[in-house]
């Protein structure tokens, strides 16, 4: 992870695609040779499949090399070690998600009313978390960094901006923390894996929560 995230825009400033966080090893990707970039993408795709099939705990550099049909040394040269590989996987996923809500099509991206975007944001994040739950849990920040890790700051800031449009009289900064709580990977794991709740129940609850927060009954 990079040491210092870019400054968070003020509420009046739109968050532009160029302000996407450079979260890890992908920062040098524009400088990679075309064949190196293709190799890197192939390795990440292979690693993502392995995590989905076997879980993050079973991810090894050797297994990725075999799945991608390259030498083990290639994986080590590209990512350094297993931690670097896991970081790169999360970077790749995080950047795609950020691009979707910052500049993608509505209702997740710009162009829809703020409440619709809030609904779409939570639904998309829940589905993404469920799809890569093992990876998310493996990279869970320590307690002291849970709310300051750059990716989470960007997600929470986005929710804050949408709340300021939808309910300008509310304490939107604190309310964003409240809204983000049901989207936490550890809670999603507890509810879906340990309590056996279907994902669509969490999605319905998210939509209901957004509607109650943004349109409280008199």
Q: List per-block mean pLDDT (blocks of 10 residues) for the chain, which spans 218 residues.
A: 40 39 44 73 88 83 91 90 85 91 97 98 96 83 83 95 97 97 95 97 98 83
**pTM of structure:** 0.74
pLDDT of residue 207: 97
Q: CB-side exposure of 126: number of CA atoms within 13 Å?
A: 25
149 and 122 fall within a common domain: yes
Return the exposure string of 58-91: e unless at least 16 CB atoms fall within 10 Å of the residue's CB, then b: ebbbebbbebbebeeebbbebbeebebbbbbbbb
Among 58, 80, 102, residue at a domain's last position? 80
pLDDT of residue 153: 93
Residue 214, in any domain of the structure: yes
59 and 108 fall within a common domain: no
Among 65, 80, 95, residue at a domain's last position? 80
Question: Is the torsion defined by CA of 173, 87, 64, 135 positive or negative?
Answer: negative
pLDDT of residue 21: 45
136 and 203 fall within a common domain: yes
SS3 content of the chain, % helix, strand, coil (to 5): 70, 0, 30
Please give the tally of structural domains in the chain.
2
103 and 207 fall within a common domain: yes
54 and 101 fall within a common domain: no
Between CA 76 and CA 79 the distance in angstroms is: 5
173 and 154 fall within a common domain: yes
Q: 74: domain range? A: 26-80
Residue 173, in any domain of the structure: yes
């Amino acid at each position: 992870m990079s040491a210092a995230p870019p400054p968070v825009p003020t509420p009046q400033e739109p968050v532009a695609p160029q302000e996407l966080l450079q979260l890890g090893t992908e920062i040098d990707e524009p400088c990679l040779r075309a064949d190196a970039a293709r190799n890197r993408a192939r390795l990440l795709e292979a690693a993502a499949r392995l995590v989905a099939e076997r879980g993050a705990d079973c991810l090894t550099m050797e297994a990725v090399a075999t799945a991608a049909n390259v030498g083990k040394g290639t994986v080590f040269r590209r990512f350094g070690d297993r931690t670097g590989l896991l970081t790169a996987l999360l970077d790749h996923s995080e950047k795609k998600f950020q691009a979707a809500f910052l500049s993608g099509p509505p209702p997740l991206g710009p162009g829809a009313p703020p409440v619709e975007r809030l609904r779409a944001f939570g639904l998309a994040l829940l589905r993404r978390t469920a799809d890569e739950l093992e990876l998310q849990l493996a990279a869970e920040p320590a307690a002291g960094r849970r709310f300051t890790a750059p990716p989470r700051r960007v997600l929470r800031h986005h929710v804050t901006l949408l709340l300021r449009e939808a309910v300008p009289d509310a304490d939107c900064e604190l309310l964003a923390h409240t809204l983000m709580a049901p989207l936490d990977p550890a809670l999603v794991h507890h509810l879906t894996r340990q309590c056996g709740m279907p994902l669509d129940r969490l999605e319905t609850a998210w939509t209901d929560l957004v509607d109650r927060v943004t349109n409280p009954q008199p």
